[in-house]
Amino acid sequence: MRKINEECGIIGIFGQKKQNVAQMTYYGLHALQHRGQEGCGIAVNDDGVYKLHKNTGLVTEVFDVRTLESLGEGNIAVGHARYGTAGSKGAVNCQPIVVNHVKGNLCVALNGTLVNYAELRSELELEGAMFHTTSDAEIIAYVITRERIKSKSIEEAVNRAMGLLEGAFSLVIATSTKVLAVRDKFGFRPLCYGVTDDGTYIVASETCALDVLGAKFIADVTPGEIVLFNKQGVQNIKDNCGKVQECPCVFEYVYFARPDSVVDGSSVHEARKRAGRFLAMEHKVEADVVIGCPDSGIDGAIGYAEQSGIPYGLGFLKNKYIGRTFIQPEQGMREKAVRMKLNVIKETVAGKRVVLIDDSIVRGTTSVYVVKLLREAGAKEVHMRVTSPKFIGACYYGTDIDSPDKLIANKHTTEEIAEIIGVDSLGFLSIDSVKKIPSNYACHNYCISCFTAEYPTKKPDLQGKSKFESKITKNV
């Protein structure tokens, strides 16, 4: 039922002694599965040598007991859960990326997208670099390796490389003795770290992964910061902080992050409830029940109900046993696929005026099916309210919406969209309100480029990147 796909979830582990870090990483990736369901991988450092396993599929499909045991024990591990953008799917682009060079080894996992990918790739190829993937992570690994050869330490190399990388990148980087957590200067994608009772440090995209591993949250990696973990403890390097106006992605709160996570100090669950309350104030309607479209619309529905006084009801049951690897049906079978994933609780909606809360409308196709299910279940009226503004701009910072061409709000007015998806009324959250849904909104200038089509960086050369992707596809 997901309509926009986030690039990745990443995790890194640094322990003071050897332990089953592969299993720890597995549990952490499972908590981050919502961020990437196309492929995953785990790399474990054992006495200076990285053992790596990665493939397409969910975490539970790629790893079993035997596979995890084959990775052995160690004190350092890096994990990645991936969703691939169009043209770059398949096992070839799964992460982490492991590179061996004259000064040692390097393991990289990335959440984000470089806007200067094409320029960097061309430059590196002219210098003799040979690429096996179209992953932005491989570009980053090569840039860091090149700087490492000229630097005294990995942290110095990463610090220098950050001045060459443009765009969104939250990174876990590991050598045979160190783990680094890195966040781009804008802070587009989240990254945090914590520590367990035995002194093992965990870096993860979201706090929900720390919770699963029993780690106590320490801090978010601030935009531009490098956090170094080694035998001596933790070192914070902030040479690249404060160089630009930070702008974390507000859509993390609207949709991407798990509701039990806390991102940059703000509860995702509370942010979504707040969005629902704002919606109730901006788009009032007379109705009998408020329901949420699973999963990210539920919190907004609760907030809308609290503010409006209209009772909240459980409108849908979601089948949680159908993952992304479920066989995609032909065009004529798509409606049945939706029914397999989502079923209406008729007693909640039959004969009633229903307020349906969802997080976004991107292409509109899913909304058509959902509204049809409600009508067939006997809903008297369906009033749709969306906890984000109209999605009109491409996102170049870590999602698969890299073109505005298929966005329904680019071609139709609100009234036209309402008619297309079959609702009695439709209301979107205002841009002013979406910026206020995180509890600490006054501290941040959030990225809302997907709602405004105005960007804090230059736009990427998508044609240039497609050229490299075509090259890799032919070779595969």
- C-alpha–C-alpha distance, residues 267 and 439, integer Å: 7
- 272 is written with which tokens? 């979504």
Q: Sign of the C-alpha dihedral, residues 157, 162, 164, 170?
A: positive
Burial of 157-184, coded b for 16+ CB within 10 Å and e otherwise, reads bbbbbbebbbbbbbbbbbbbebbbbbbb
Q: How confident is the model at residue 264 (pLDDT cuts 50, 70, 90)?
A: very high
So which residues are the catalytic ones? Answer: 8
In this prediction the pTM is 0.92
Given a cut of 90, whether residue 322 has pLDDT beyond it is no
What percent of the chain is modeled with pLDDT above 90? Answer: 79
Q: How confident is the model at residue 87 (pLDDT cuts 50, 70, 90)?
A: very low
| Model pLDDT, residue 246 | 94
242-247 average pLDDT score: 94
What percent of the chain is modeled with pLDDT above 70? Answer: 90
Q: Are strands 201-204 and 316-318 parallel, antiparallel or unpaired?
A: unpaired
| Model pLDDT, residue 469 | 60
**Amino acid of residue 408:** I
| Model pLDDT, residue 379 | 98
| Model pLDDT, residue 210 | 98
The model's pLDDT over 198-231, given as tens digits with 9 standing for 90+, comes to 999 999 999 999 999 999 999 999 999 999 999 9
Q: Which residues contact 460 (CB under 8 A, 6 or more apart)?
A: 113, 114, 115, 116, 117, 118, 167, 396
**Amino acid of residue 98:** V
- C-alpha–C-alpha distance, residues 340 and 108, integer Å: 37
Given a cut of 70, whether residue 331 has pLDDT beyond it is no
Long-range Cβ contacts of 462-469 (<8 Å, 24+ apart): 462/402, 462/403, 464/117, 464/118, 464/119, 464/121, 464/122, 465/117, 465/118, 465/121, 465/134, 466/87, 467/118, 468/118, 468/121, 468/131, 468/134, 469/87, 469/88, 469/134
- What domains can you pick out in the chain, each with its CATH number? 8-247 (3.60.20.10), 266-321+331-449 (3.40.50.2020)
Give the relative orientation of helices 117-126 and 136-149 as an angle to the nearest 10 degrees.
50
The model's pLDDT over 101-149, given as tens digits with 9 standing for 90+, comes to 999 999 999 999 999 999 999 999 999 888 988 899 999 999 999 999 9
Q: How confident is the model at residue 334 (pLDDT cuts 50, 70, 90)?
A: low
The model's pLDDT over 387-421, given as tens digits with 9 standing for 90+, comes to 999 999 999 998 877 778 889 999 999 999 999 99
Q: Is the peptide bond before 295 cis (omega within 30 degrees of 0)?
A: yes
Q: Hey, which residues does 266 pair with through a beta bridge?
A: 263
